Structure 1
Amino acid sequence: MRTSGQRDPSHSSFPVQESEGLIFSDERISEEDLYRYTRRRWLCNEQKELSKRYVRFDLQELIRAALDVSDGSRYCTRVLKCLEGLHNKAFILTMDNGVEVFAKLPNPSAGPARYTTASEVAAYDMLREVFKVPVPRVLAWSTDATNNSVGAEYIIQEKVQDVRLGSLWNQWPQKAKLNLIKQVDNLLSLTGDAKPLTVDSVAPEVLERFAIGPLTSAELWTGARKDMALDRGPWRNPIQYTQALGKNEIGWIKSHAKSRMNYYRSMEDQEHPEDGLALLTQYMDAASYLIPSSDDEAASSNVLWHPGLHLDNVFVDPETHEITSIIDWQSACVAPLFYQSGIPRMFQHPGPVQEGCEEEQKKIENDLESETMHKYYEAQVYKRAPRHWSVLQRKTIPIMRKPVELVTGVWERRNLFFLRQSLIVLAAYWEEVYSDSGLTCPSQFTKTDLELFSKLWPYQETED
């Protein structure tokens, strides 16, 4: 589309980016297709799901905002609607002088648009200016849809010029992949092994520019939760965090949960909100123990961590194999390394598959390269990021943080079984997890509880 910021987009043709920026389809789409989600369909509750991903805005005003930060540009010559993710609308705007910018607008499913946008902008700024991590520069942004001409919250960034790692990874020799792992670990060391990002340790000049705000993850803001006075932080210590998540869930179940059938449990008896509340009582009893030790400096270090690093949010120079940008920091948070440490999924070796899948098992067993990547990443963490390694290699930490990961949305997501499982595992390994502490496990399960759990286990494993 060519426009000076005045033409009606409903009469123009918008090329739609199909995948990885390599394949394009010059399909004419309606103006309405700019706002709605068109990538996939839903078999159930489709209108509800589509409404979570619908954003209406003024394209002409978005173009004007982009022109204001595109030096020397007079008008926009092309708009590409990017292949859609679940949480954002994204466009590449090309100007008359060849300048390209990336425009991003959060869907309702992304969480609170104001906080989500402000948090992402701040994260990019901190990553660039404080940690020197290669991320796109933010050129313009707005967190107030009611007071901007676009009519929606937005971020305009410089467009990343290189290639997504996902389109090259399978073509690279192992040497290039191992070098890439070194680069990723070095960058994570900047954010994970630098001075902890606590209020007491951040330099005064940084404090003037940044603030720790509430969590912006969608699970705390969508549906009925957006109108509830939930405790979304910030918190001054991990105990406040683990307890707040439990209290939030108790409040939601009391206000909104309804009795329902759980056919894995019974073909006749319903599952009641009281069942969820009883389990959450056990979670709350354990919550104050699901934290790093106060004298464990490594696990207690507050770090800024990428929320989901994978092959398609890393950009590289195809010639030098060097990382040039890391994107998708939406809803990244500052939290103790205890809750954030892990191996990026692009380097994780798959675990064993279910028994009986002999062909698949053989494939995984023969996937030596995948195992090599996993082990090499661990070796690099050991050498380059001692704080991260001291947390990563402790097998008890996943046992302690699993209940915290599961508690939010436990009723809506039908995760009661898995939360109960995590608390049973915690009780089973209590003496190992809290060795020499003399503490008594607060979570107690009766013989009836364990029998019911054992009965449900094979069905839930299949479901999972």
Structure 2
Amino acid sequence: MELKEKFKIVEEVVGIQKKLQSVAFSSYGSLYYKSDVAGYSSSIDIDGSLPPSAKTYAEDRFVVGPLAERSFWEPEHAGSAIDRGPWSSAQSYLRAISEREESKCPLKETPTDPQDDSDLLDSPQARLSLLHKFEAVSAYLPPSQQSLNRGTLFPWDLRAPNFFIEDGRITSLIDWQDAWVAPLFMQERRPQLLEYDGKMMLQLPDYFETIENKAEKAKVQTQVERSILSWYYHRVVRGRLPALQELFDLPLARIRRETVLLASDIWKGETIPLRECLYQLQRQWNKLNTNIACPIHFSTQEIEAHEEASSDWDERAKFWDSLSGFVSQDGYTSLETYEEARKLFKELREEGRHSLSGKELAEFEIQSKWVERLG
């Protein structure tokens, strides 16, 4: 597909976002048929550029009910009396996250070893401390502008495989099962189809023709194309979707969203990204214009341990950045590059098995075992 044709796809993606954001709901949660969740829902009081007949049809047929997100319905907690929505305010949604995660707390009354940095960062006590810090700042994460808190239908998975394109036009968008009516500020992320966080390069460099390695040459071409498409996406948003541009311009917009997402599963995975978000909120608290002192504080010991652990995490992040456009962190690669990606990860696994030993090797074996299933 030529770049000019891709520009048209960018315009259509923005058109989809504009259409979805043109209708605002009075509460947050998942959409249901009215007959399916009687007693557990709220009527959809919608506002936007809808004909009266369409508005009446929607309000008569659909309701906003409990959020059908996996973290609210894990088997071991499915019977718990936790608040799953719907919610009438962003603060009540964030409070429900805190209460849900608090209810999952596996904490036992066992003291931590103050000399053990891993214990300081990843123990149940450390995770609970992060959750309490999230609770302290959560009331200040929703923007003061009500326009950025309004509920709109949010299809979060806008990756290339979910778009059907025919004759240069988007004909269908699939994978709606996790879409929900979310606060607009939680939709800060650019569509994955167009997301690019690398160095912007809007034209081929002067030395391009002297590059002999075909793979390196293709990488530069990809960087330029992705830079141009990202630039064009933001240009179209500025001209056609000012509400979304207002969100992109919001101070600490990405940190607000990522803090909520990372706190939503605090008992699993690494704590480094959430701690970094909270630490950045502490450092840049004045940008939230709360008129109060920052309610959280990290000790010097916590910061030093975090920065040491972050260096290894940053190296892994750089690794995935180096694969940008080839393999995404969720494992997606195109059919055309599948064999090359399979070969790369098999080679990386063999290299790790020969260079590591002891505990590091044991952990690496577990983490990379999935590569064997590639054949």
TM-score by length of 2: 0.67
Kindly indicate whether residue 70 of structure 2 is the aligned counterpart of residue 218 of structure 1.
yes
Letter in 2 for 1:315: F
Deviation at 1:260, TM superposition (A): 11
Q: Take 1:298 and 1:270, find their aligned partners in 2: how far apart are those partners? A: 37
Give the superposition deviation at 1:275: 2.0
Gaps of 5+ in 1: 1-171, 353-358
Question: What SS does the aligned partner of 1:248 have?
Answer: helix
- 1:452 corresponds, among 282, 305, 326, to 305
| CA shift for structure 1 position 284 | 0.8
Distance in 2 of aligned mates of 1:430 and 1:316: 44
Task: Verify the 8 A CA contact 2:101 2:264 in the aligned structure 1.
Answer: yes
Q: How big is the shift at 1:254?
A: 3.9
Which residue number in structure 2 is paired with residue 304 of structure 1? 153
Q: Measure the CA separation in 2 of the matches of 1:431 and 1:360.
A: 43
Q: Return closer, same or farther for 1:448/1:310 CA change in 2, 3 Å cut-off.
A: same
Map 1:19-418 → 2, pairs under 5 A: 172-192=1-21, 194-198=22-26, 199-202=44-47, 203-254=55-106, 265-266=117-118, 271-293=122-144, 296-317=145-166, 320-351=167-198, 363=219, 367-414=223-270, 416-418=271-273
Query: Counterpart of 1:307 in structure 2: which amino acid?
Result: W
Output one character per residue of 1:26-63: Cα deviation in whole Å (capped at 9) or x when no partner: xxxxxxxxxxxxxxxxxxxxxxxxxxxxxxxxxxxxxx
Q: Deviations over 1:150-189 (max 9, x none)?
A: xxxxxxxxxxxxxxxxxxxxxx111111011111111211
Structure 2 match to 1:121: none
More helix as a share of residues: 2
Once the two structures are TM-superposed, the CA of residue 205 in structure 1 deviates from its matched residue by 3.9
Give, in whole Å, the separation in 1 of the partners of 2:300 and 2:218.
39
Match of residue 425 from structure 1: 280
CA distance in 1, matches of 2:314, 2:79: 35
Rate the CA distance shift 1:338–1:182 in 2: closer, same or farther, 3 A. Answer: same
1:345 aligned counterpart, secondary structure: coil
Question: How far off its partner does 1:218 sit?
Answer: 1.9
Contact 1:424–1:445 (8 Å) recurs in 2 = yes
Contact 1:242/1:290 (8 A) holds in 2: no
Distance 1:305 1:445 in 2: 34
| Code of the aligned partner of 2:262 | L
Q: Which residue of 1 aligns with 2:361?
A: none
Displacement after TM superposition at 1:286 (Å): 0.8
Where 1:303 maps in the other structure, the secondary structure is strand
Any idea what the Cα deviations from partners look like across 1:310-355, whole Å, max 9, x if unmatched?
A: 11111122xx312211111011000111111331111122425xxx
CA distance in 1, matches of 2:172, 2:99: 39
Alpha-carbon contact 2:282-2:296 (below 8 Å) kept: yes
Q: Which amino acid aligns with 1:274?
A: Q
> After TM superposition, where is structure 1 displaced by more than 3 Å over at least 4 residues in a row?
199-205, 254-261, 263-266, 268-272, 359-366
Shift of 1:365: 8.2
Aligned counterparts of 2:217 and 2:277: Cα–Cα separation in 1: 26
Residue identity in the other structure for 2:247? V
How many correspondences in the alignment? 278
Aligned residue for 1:241, secondary structure, equals helix
Q: C-alpha deviations, 1:181-209, integer Å up to 9, x for none?
A: 111111211001x1312244354442221
For 1:305 and 1:257, the matched residues in 2 are separated by 41
More relative contact order, 1 or 2 (CA 8 Å, 6+ apart): 2
Q: 1:217 to 1:456 in 2, by over 3 A?
A: same
Cα deviation for residue 463 of structure 1 reads: 4.4
Contact 1:191–1:304 (CA<8 Å) still a contact in 2?
A: yes
Deviation at 1:402, TM superposition (A): 2.0
Comparing 249-258 with 390-399, greater Cα deviation is found at 249-258
Distance in structure 1 (CA, Å) of the matches to 2:219 and 2:116? 32
Report percent identity of matched pairs. Answer: 25
Instruction: Give yes or no for contact 2:94–2:138 (8 Å, CA) kept in 1.
Output: yes
What SS does the aligned partner of 1:456 have? helix
Q: Is the 8 A contact 1:260 1:271 kept in 2?
A: no
Query: What is the CA–CA distance in structure 1 between the aligned matches of 2:14 and 2:110, rounded to whole Å?
Result: 46
Structure 1 345/269 Cα, relative in aligned 2: closer, same or farther at 3 Å?
closer
CA distance in 1, matches of 2:184, 2:120: 42
> Match of 2:292?
439
In the TM superposition, residue 222 of structure 1 has moved relative to its aligned partner by 2.8
What root-mean-square deviation, in Å, do the aligned CA atoms of Structure 1 and Structure 2 show?
3.1
Q: Is the 8 A contact 1:391 1:397 kept in 2?
A: yes
User: Is the contact between residue 158 and residue 191 of structure 2 (CA under 8 Å) also seen in structure 1?
Assistant: yes
Which letter maps to 2:281? L
In the alignment, residue 345 of structure 1 is paired with which amino acid?
Q
CA distance in 2, matches of 1:361, 1:281: 49
